[in-house]
Structures are given as structure tokens and as C-alpha cells.
Structure 1
């Protein structure tokens, strides 16, 4: 690597520990910080939308759709041992309390169960985290609200 007198070759940027080479066409953008680039067109999401995200997430219709999605995906239970088949009865008994805890900021997701899945290469495994089915319902409800926005 040939180093010029000022110690830089073709304008190098240090971004989070990575060295990035900037081509001639991009030199004019090299001095713009990443923050400015990201916030250039940030007028899409309004304050009104941001204030209503939790309400939209916890609407009965959204939570019902999230439950249906989790049920259709099936999947194994998490650390609490609850299976998808037991979920509906649990949500009927505890749903209002869980929603109140979410609104109050008191809800804490359960730890994720770690499962090792064998890879095609013998002796190698891929680690997979399995959340509880209740946490998956709330994750799905959040996804359904945020995906159309982003």
C-alpha cells in the first residue's frame, strides 16, 4: 500500500474499526457523517405515529393476528415449557395483566432457550435461541406494526 505524504491513500475513513476506501466519485460524500446521511430524509415518521406505536401494538386485532401467526408457525416452547397449544388458554387468563405490564413498562421477556442444530458439516452445530410462546406473540405484534413503517 502506497502511503501519500499526508498519511492517507485515496481518502480512507475509519468507521467503527473498519477501514473504508472511498472512490473518486464518492469523495464529496466522504466528509458527510453517517448521522447526517441517515437523518437526511427523516420526515416520514411523524411524532403522531411515534406516540401511537404502543397503542397500535396492543390493539386487540393486532394481538389476535399475532397469536394466529405464532400458532400457524407452531414451533417449540421456550424455557417455561409452554407449548403453542396451551397458549390460547394462558392468554385468556392472563392477557389483561400482561398488557397492563407492557403499558407500564414492567414486562420483562423470559430468557431464551438455547438449542443446538446440527449443520451439514459433521460435528458442527448452529446455536438457536427459542423464546417463550408468549414472548413470540408480543414480538410478532411489534413486527406487524413496525414493518409497514420501515
Structure 2
């Protein structure tokens, strides 16, 4: 084998390795991108910016006096507000211990055709100083300090 052939093979192997690494990076980035779930404020949902029937996060504050248990004794219905708009949320599971009226909340689920947000996950804030970034941004957009 000549020196030229050896060099040519080495370059071909290097090119193959670089192509494989590039493909792996693209696949990893694609996987991360598809797992991201966008979030919307109640005002954005009311303005029909949120997708109906697709998963997203709803960020805001639990409206005072809006929490009601469902007939099964486990599920709950409550309102999430950004002080400009409010969206009804139904959650069939047990709420986190830190869930309270007047506190920040981020619910993940989907909006049904009737405009009801059906959550499959609810995360709550334990005080105003540690508000989840999504809830803080939702309130900031509406001009209210979390």
C-alpha cells in the first residue's frame, strides 16, 4: 500500500467518524427539542394563542375562592389567572402539599374544545419569593408582581 493510499484511507475514516458524530448530535438535539413543552398565560389562552388538544403548560396564580373538589373526592377544579384573564383547570389527581389559593402554579395538560384546561401535572410554589419562572413571567406580562 502506498503512502497516498494510506493517507486517503485515514481521511476517509476521519470523515466517517465526523459524519457519525454529527448525526448523533443532530439526533440528540432533535430529541431534546421534541420534549420541550411550551407554556402560555391565561391571557394568551383567552386570545386563542394556545393549541387546542396539544400539551402545553399553563402558568399563573390560583384564584382565591376558586378551588372546588370534584365528586370523586380526589380531583379538583380551580381557576388560574394572570389578573387579566382566568382559565378553568380540572386536575384528576392529588394536589401537591404546597398548592394554595393566591400562589403561583404551573399546570401541564391540554385545552379541550370547550376551553377547559385538563391538567395531568400540577406544580405549586411555596412562597412569593420562590415563584416558578413560568408563573413569574406570566404575572410579569400582565403587570402584576408575583
TM-score grouping bracket, smaller chain normalisation: under 0.3
Greater helix share, structure number: 1
Greater strand share, structure number: 2
TM-score w.r.t. the length of structure 2 is: 0.19
